[in-house]
Amino acid sequence: MKKIILLLLFASFFKVGQTQNIKGTLRDKSDNQYIIFASIYINGTSVGTYSDQNGYFELDISKFGSLPLTISALGYYTVTLTDFSSEKQIEVYLIPKTFELKEVVVSARSTAKARKTNLKLFRDQFLGSGYNGQNCVITNEGDITFKNSGDTLKAYASKPILIVNNALGYKITYYLDNFEYCWKCKSFLYKGNAFFSEDMSTSLTSKNFFEKRRKKAYLGSRSHFFSSLWTNSLNSNGFFIKNSVEEIINYEDIVSVRAGFKKYLSSKSDLYIYYLSKSPSSCIQPLKDHIFFDVKGYFDGSGVMMSGQMAQQRIGDLLPYDFKLK
């Protein structure tokens, strides 16, 4: 009997030990007031919660303990936390977007014709012009406004952008921080965070359809590459890497391990990615000495610049980090 009790206690203790609850409070940095109904989530997943009337929140991040915590609120700059502990309650101060909100008011006066053109371009660049992107619907386009500044089109969202992806079967809440498109050079950049709010696989027919589309979107993607790199299984997953003089780059050449289990991409030269091809499909240009990445396919996007096939993937091609290839 004593052995059984000890075993049960041990199992109970192990469960508690595996739980990682983050607790904290959100305040406005300008006036110290509590921020209510803010979103606290792990970017690219369905793990999230909201702050209450006292700015307080709790979130279990056990499944994604190594990934950053993202905090977004209407009218504030998004905050990403990488250094936090479940052992201590955190207090976060958000900075209001006072300047950008003024620009949004001005841009709202644009003509209907110009807005139609801007919306079409925004959808193609933001969601993607391929099958997945073209089968996405933004349900609150009225919350998106535009401002032309010289050769650059800027887009702002007064609220999170709500996306229904009818190709991959997800509903996504996207917090847009920045979108710029250069008319002259035909280039664009965007920055923000995605929260997967719902899986639309409600029937066997839709589940089979979405599984096929998701598999196609995942294979050869950024997440597929970084997940394969983390497990040192690039070759078995169809990838290999070369440098600018076409020398093979191995796992040991570019991956460093810190803090016992965290892995970082470390390269001083550009990496040419081959996927099921004799020619490079993508190129990764490191912008930092050490770029964190995770087994689920997450990577520090601020640490790399991409070109080629991986760079062409848009919001319509996104899959949550807890997606598993079957």
Q: Which string of DSSP letters, residue by residue, matches 255-296? A: EEEETTTEEEE--SS-EEEEESSSS--EEEEE-SSSEEE-TT
> What's the rounded Cα separation, in Å, for the pair 84 and 44?
19
Judge whether 222 and 313 are in contact, CB under 8 Å.
Answer: yes
Per-residue pLDDT tens for 3-38?
Answer: 444 444 444 433 444 568 899 999 999 999 999 999
Task: Give the phi and the psi of residue 269 in degrees, each rounded to 5.
Answer: -125, 165
pLDDT bin (cut points 50, 70, 90) of residue 303 is very high
For residue 187, CA distances in Å to 37, 181, 259, 310 come to: 35, 6, 38, 15
Q: Which helix (H) or strand (E) holds 199?
A: strand 187-199
Q: Which CATH superfamily is domain 2-96 in?
A: Carboxypeptidase-like, regulatory domain (2.60.40.1120)
Asked if 42 and 317 touch (Cβ cutoff 8 Å), the reply is no
Using one digit for the tens of pLDDT, what is the confidence trace for 108-154? 555 888 899 999 999 999 999 999 999 999 999 999 999 888 899 99
Q: Rounded to an integer, what distance in angstroms lies between the CA atom of residue 38 and that of residue 247?
A: 48
Question: Measured between alpha carbons, how far is residue 207 from residues 168, 169, 211, 252 in Å?
Answer: 10, 8, 6, 39
Q: What is the distance, to the nearest Å, from the Cα of residue 306 to the centroid of all Cα atoms in its chain?
A: 15
pLDDT of the residue at 232? 97
Using pLDDT thresholds of 50, 70 and 90, give the confidence band for residue 2.
very low
Tell me the two tokens of residue 318: 């996104």
DSSP-derived 3-state class of residue 178: strand
Its pTM stands at 0.86
Residue 304 tokens, joined: 């790399």
